[in-house]
Structure 1
């Protein structure tokens, strides 16, 4: 098998490990030229629907938030990403891996997550340059 085929399968597998399932509406925030297109395609393939953009005005089952160090305030981005997320929906915070442009320190992520009233439930490598952290609303 070629390396390109292996990478495509790995990204489809990452989308499955992220827990996306058929029929879900996934809103994507922070899309840019540096995001992993194969991962996006894997998510769309699993859900059977294209990713919705930031202009979504209905509820989403999940949110995919691409965030880089220079994108502004992470806490604000997290809070804003909850606007159309179902009460029991999951938010995937995708940040560049260490050593990549836009890397966000783990301590900064932890602080922003807590301030936004969220909790971490899972962290995985989702693509060559990206790490994904699954967040949910903190249970009280």
Structure 2
């Protein structure tokens, strides 16, 4: 985990994610444990609702809520890339260390690399959730 993962920030989580009004953001992995305040902030920032997993829209960014037992992370990241505009970020949101469902950063690195992505940064976005920004290696 990078040193910035628990550093306080005066920026809102949506600002940290780099999202702005009018962008389309697709969401994968929604479940009853997601941080609803964070979701609301993201929707406020883009001034619209998040696109569902099965949306066929080309999107500007993707957020993926991911827990240790959710399946194959590489497959999920490849799915997330399918509707993402070139150069758009994928934000992998995972439980912080010590929380149920924590994902090891080594597993994130491996899955990202296999999916053709690289880890750019990891930040604290909510009380129980880290955000890891992934970008294309190209």
| TM-score of the two chains, using structure 1 as the length reference | 0.89
- 1:62 Cα shift? 0.3
**Equivalent residue, structure 2, for 1:3:** none
Partner of 1:5: none
TM-score w.r.t. structure 2 length? Answer: 0.90
1:116 alignment partner in structure 2: 115
> Normalized per residue, which structure has more strand?
1
Higher helix share: 1
- Number of residues of Structure 1 aligned to a counterpart in Structure 2: 130
Residue 5 of structure 2 aligns with which residue?
none
Report what 1:13 is aligned to.
12
Structure 1 unmatched ranges of 5 or more: 1-9
Q: How big is the shift at 1:123?
A: 1.2
Matches for 1:117-136 after TM superposition, within 5 Å = 117-136=116-135
Larger radius of gyration: 1
CA separation in 2, counterparts of 1:107 and 1:55?
28
User: For 1:43-58, what aligned pairs fall within 5 Å after superposition?
Assistant: 43-58=42-57
| Aligned structure 1 segments of 4 or more residues deviating by more than 6 angstroms | none
Larger relative contact order (Cα-Cα within 8 Å, sequence gap ≥ 6) = 2
Alignment gaps of 5+ in structure 2:
1-8
| Counterparts of residues 16-95 of structure 1 (less than 5 Å) | 16-95=15-94
Q: How well do the aligned residues superpose, as a CA RMSD in angstroms? A: 1.5
In the TM superposition, residue 58 of structure 1 has moved relative to its aligned partner by 1.2
Shift of 1:17: 1.1
Alignment partner, residue 7 of structure 1: none
How far does the alpha carbon of each residue in 1:83-135 deviate from its partner, in whole angstroms, 9 at most, with x for none?
10001111000111011111111111111111111011221101011000111
